[in-house]
Amino acid sequence: MNRVAIYDTTLRDGSQREGISFSVADKIHITKLLDELGVSYIEGGWPGSNPKDATYFEQVRRLDLQNAKIAAFGSTRRKGIAPEEDANIRALVDAHTPVVTVVGKTSMLHVTDVLQTTAGENLKMIEDSLAYLKNQDKEVIYDAEHFFDGAKLDMEYGFDTLGAAVAGGADVIVLCDTNGGSMPWEIVDFVIQAQELFPDTQFGIHTHNDSEVAVANSLAAVRAGAAHVQGTINGYGERCGNANLCSIIPDLIIKLGTPCLAQDGNLAALTHVSRAVAEIANLAPDEHLPYVGQSAFAHKGGIHVAAMRRNEDSYQHIVPTQVGNETRVLVSDLSGRGNLLSKAEELGLEVSKDEAAQVLNDIKDLEHDGFSFEGAEASVAVRLRRASPDYRPLFNLIDFTVIVEDRRGRGQLAEAMVKLDVDGDVVHTAAEGNGPVNALDLALRKALLPKYPSLRDIQLVDYKVRILDSENATGAMTRVLIDSYNGVERWSTVGAGTDIICASWLALVDSLEYGMTVADVAADMQALPIGK
């Protein structure tokens, strides 16, 4: 199929998602990422709407972009005023972008109720605005807002508005499913009709996800002849979002064999771009997004993993590295022995089939008791390490005591005392903390630091508690998850029990042991030359 142009509107339409507010620096950063990915167009914003977007267009001109053209977005002129006198049109020109995108009304509902003008005046507004911008040596893209809904209300007028855009000299006319309510078969019918009426015009598609078919609608439009696709990274956008380019791009390249990036090799940067944009937007990445989500190629079922160990294509529709992602094996009570063996190989641990089977049985029993290892892979890793015949523990617990008091004149106090056997030496320490778990952590570190100074590099960065059976009130089973970080890697461990302190101790010990043993082995494995 012919090449399709990707038009990214993350910086404008995507920023309309609730909770997103990009700074100018954010927008410049994302622009660089999108250019490196290889999209054809980057819509930078609406220069006539706010000072931030105007500043962006000043700064983006200094970038040496290799692949993308920057587009400024705005609306047609207002009713009863010439384009050159309209402040919004002037702002589009003053943005000094090679491309301008103009949105106009296609639906009579919006012409009469929103613009409060006549059908004829709206047609003139479209044609006049586009013609004026074409005379300014701009590449003009026309967004036919509400086209599909408008054509359903009044088909003749809907296509008349496209005729006005053609008469105005639009380079591309983009058919917009603005409310996100159209179905793929409707998209196909209208795209074909538009091309039959205006055979010399290039058409594009812009869809929203309110009916959960934005990606399907975009692909349907391409199959019907659209050569320009608009969308956003991660599907960000108002209400339910826009068409997700992180799905559309690989769908086009891998599934339809349709080139859509400046260099198709840039497809391998897609996962990085997805997660980087999420980070810039200050949103947690959606782990379950197709292609780029952390769980997109994660395998949990035992029979799935067993099959994958024989042939990776058995439960994956593409090779994850095509989009910059990776295969992951999860461990839970649904796992088989292959899950454990794959996890051991991933971590550079030598584990026999019998050892893996024993660890698997332990994990199944522990999950029955309230543990959950799926989100605590470091706890799986240390159990695999402990299964080795030559395993030597870093220490053996003799006992610990935690005291929480509320003393007059001093307030609340948490104190922990820990007694350990460290290589045959009995070490007894105590520490105060701002809570019982913090005190226990400090006392444990105080006991181990003389022997294991690398503990200083390990920080506890998150602590989560979940009550599993709240109907048992204060006697409920509690699950504790601890996230730790050593400056390079972040990992999670789990503990569970009816005593929150004991559950925390289990997760804490796993965390420190992983950081001082397995994390180092995994880092060494990653540092080995390829093929070793």
312: in domain = no
Q: Three-state SS across 200-215?
A: CCEEEEEEECCCCCHH
Per residue in 451-467, pLDDT (tens digit) is 888 888 888 888 888 88
End-to-end CA separation in angstroms for the chain: 42
Distance CA 532, CA 523 (A): 14
User: Per-residue confidence at 27, pLDDT binned at 50, 70, 90?
Assistant: very high
The reply to whether 401 and 275 lie within a common domain is: no
The reply to whether 273 and 410 lie within a common domain is: no
Nearest one of 496, 497, 488, 499 to 523, comparing CA atoms = 488
What is the pLDDT, as a whole number, of residue 455? 86
Residue 531 clears pLDDT 60, i.e. is over it = no
Q: What tokens were used for 399?
A: 């006992």
Domain count, the chain: 2
31: in domain = yes
The reply to whether 268 and 409 lie within a common domain is: no
**Residue 460 is part of which domain span?**
396-527
Q: What tokens were used for 148?
A: 């599909």
What is the pLDDT, as a whole number, of residue 265? 64
- Residue found by looking up tokens 């390829």 in the block: 530
Contact at 8 Å (CB) between 178 and 210?
no
CB neighbours (10 Å) of residue 427?
17
300: in domain = no
**CA dist list (Å): 460 to 16, 45, 51, 402, 455:** 35, 40, 41, 19, 11
**CB hemisphere CA count around 76 (13 angstroms):** 28
- Sequence-distant (6+) residues with CB within 8 A of 362 are 383
Share of the chain above pLDDT 70, in %: 88
Q: What tokens were used for 287?
A: 């782990």
Residue 300 clears pLDDT 70, i.e. is over it = no
Residue 522 clears pLDDT 50, i.e. is over it = no
Contact at 8 Å (CB) between 481 and 375?
yes
Element (H, E) at 172: strand 172-177
From 264, 280, 296, the end of a domain falls on 280
On the 0-12 / 13-18 / 19+ scale of CB atoms within 10 A, 80 is exposed
The reply to whether 405 and 271 lie within a common domain is: no
Per residue in 205-236, pLDDT (tens digit) is 999 999 999 999 999 999 999 999 999 999 99
Angle (CA) 56-11-187 rounded to 5° is: 140
Contact at 8 Å (CB) between 306 and 338?
yes
Distance CA 2, CA 54 (A): 35
Helices (DSSP H) in 369-470: which residue ranges? 377-386, 436-448
Beta strands in 90-153 (DSSP E): 99-105, 139-145
Residue 262 clears pLDDT 80, i.e. is over it = yes
Average pLDDT for residues 132-144, to the nearest whole number? 97
**405 vs 260: which has the higher pLDDT:** 260
- Residue 471: CATH number of its domain: 3.30.160.270
Distance CA 356, CA 341 (A): 6
Residue 357 clears pLDDT 80, i.e. is over it = no
Average pLDDT in the chain = 87
147: in domain = yes
Helix (H, G, I), strand (E, B) or coil at 73: strand
User: Per-residue confidence at 530, pLDDT binned at 50, 70, 90?
Assistant: very low
The reply to whether 146 and 274 lie within a common domain is: yes
User: Which of 42-51, 64-73, 322-331 is predicted with the least confidence, judged by mean pLDDT?
Assistant: 322-331
Q: What tokens were used for 528?
A: 């080995």
Per residue in 91-117, pLDDT (tens digit) is 999 999 999 999 999 988 878 888 788
229: in domain = yes
**23 vs 521: which has the higher pLDDT:** 23
What is the pLDDT, as a whole number, of residue 151? 93
What is the pLDDT, as a whole number, of residue 353? 79
In what order do the strands lie in the sheet containing 490-497? Answer: 459-467, 478-485, 490-497
In what order do the strands lie in the sheet containing 396-407? Answer: 396-407, 411-422, 425-433
User: Which of 63-77, 176-190, 299-313, 477-491 is predicted with the least confidence, judged by mean pLDDT?
Assistant: 299-313
CB neighbours (10 Å) of residue 317?
11
User: Which of 14-28, 37-51, 386-400 is predicted with the least confidence, judged by mean pLDDT?
Assistant: 386-400
104: in domain = yes
User: Per-residue confidence at 309, pLDDT binned at 50, 70, 90?
Assistant: low
Length of the chain: 532
What is the pLDDT, as a whole number, of residue 208? 98
167: in domain = yes
- Residue 205: CATH number of its domain: 3.20.20.70
Distance CA 271, CA 279 (A): 12
User: Per-residue confidence at 330, pLDDT binned at 50, 70, 90?
Assistant: low
364: in domain = no
Which of 66-70, 119-123, 285-289, 341-345: highest mean pLDDT?
66-70
User: Per-residue confidence at 335, pLDDT binned at 50, 70, 90?
Assistant: low
What is the pLDDT, as a whole number, of residue 10? 97
Distance CA 119, CA 315 (A): 55
On the 0-12 / 13-18 / 19+ scale of CB atoms within 10 A, 390 is exposed
From 280, 313, 334, the end of a domain falls on 280
From 259, 280, 301, the end of a domain falls on 280
Average pLDDT for residues 57-61, to the nearest whole number? 95
